[in-house]
Amino acid sequence: MCGPVFPHEVIGFSGGNKYFFPGIAGPEIINITHWLGALMTSMAIMGRVDTPVRQVVDRAASSIPTPRFCISLVMHGDSLHGLYVGSMQGAWRAAAELSAKLDIVYVDQPFQRVLSIVPPMYDDLWTGAKGMYKMEAVVADGGEVIVYAPHIAEISYTHGKVIEQVGYHVRDYFVKQWDQFKHFPWGVLAHSTHLRGVGTFENGVEQPRIRVALATGIPPQVCEKVGLGYLDPDTIGPEEWQGRQEEGLLVVPRAGELLYRVKAGSPRA
């Protein structure tokens, strides 16, 4: 098995046995693994080497009778920084440890607003959501992530109709109303929680920790329907965000490639 290793919102790091399960698996294990990750929240699981989802995947892969061999690549930008060849566990773990050093950016303190500039390779919100959840950990309580992607005009080419039915919500919105939502694809529910981020649902009131706004080609009425904010992308000048970190503003070019965290010992680390 050959593939890249980088921080991943469902399993911690991509690669290794993930390319078998759920890579070539059916919807049952896809839904189980994604919902398990969502229950832990992507903010807690992303960039972690040892996770319950990884344990499920490795357990499933242990049932494969054919000998398995792993080639794990660690890219940083357009450059290859690591190539590990060996066992599924050994090669993948070595690659994950390098990726943790290269692909996680640590900041001194959280920001009030983050402008995530999503590159064209993400052509719908289903994939472009990486611009939110890879930034979530460095947004201050009550702060905001703006997903800036004028080229995105669809929530999801595959799952859009389902997402428009359920909307974007924090994990507990679904967990505490499980009978109402358990019949929807769990992988779609997981995506919903990834983009909306952590928060609470008490006495029928949902309280996300941060705000999420789309500055995309998705119309404002659709954003409102699914529970997200809207900003006209034509009113945003990314260059105006540059060099304003001391003001609590951060702009991230090519958002979704790197995972951001607050340094240990800093506020809300």
Q: Output the tens digit of pLDDT for each of the chain's 269 residues.
A: 899 999 999 999 999 999 999 988 889 999 999 999 999 999 999 999 999 999 999 999 999 999 999 999 999 988 999 999 999 999 999 999 999 999 999 999 999 999 999 999 999 999 999 999 999 999 999 999 999 999 999 999 999 999 999 999 999 999 999 999 999 999 999 999 999 999 999 999 999 999 999 999 999 999 999 999 999 999 999 999 999 999 999 999 999 999 999 998 766 65
Positions of CATH 3.40.50.11440 in the chain: 2-102
Q: What is the pLDDT of residue 267?
A: 62
Q: In 104-159, which residue ranges form alpha helices assigned H by DSSP?
A: 125-128, 130-133
Q: What is the pLDDT of residue 269?
A: 54
14 contacts 53 by C-beta, under 8 angstroms: no
Q: What is the pLDDT of residue 208?
A: 98
34 contacts 60 by C-beta, under 8 angstroms: no
Positions of CATH 3.90.226.30 in the chain: 106-262
This prediction's pTM:
0.95
CATH among 2.40.160.40, 3.50.50.100, 3.40.50.11440, 3.40.228.10 for 2-102: 3.40.50.11440
> Rounded to whole angstroms, how far apart are CA atoms 9 and 190?
10
> Rounded to whole angstroms, how far apart are CA atoms 81 and 90?
17
Q: In 130-210, which residue ranges form alpha helices assigned H by DSSP?
A: 130-133, 160-166, 171-175, 178-181, 186-196
Show the tokens assigned to 175.
Answer: 């967990």
User: Alpha carbon 86 to chain centroid distance?
Assistant: 28
CATH class of 106-262: alpha beta
> Rounded to whole angstroms, how far apart are CA atoms 154 and 222?
10
Q: What is the pLDDT of residue 268?
A: 60
Query: Taken in order 1, 45, 192, 152, is the CA torsion positive or negative?
Result: negative
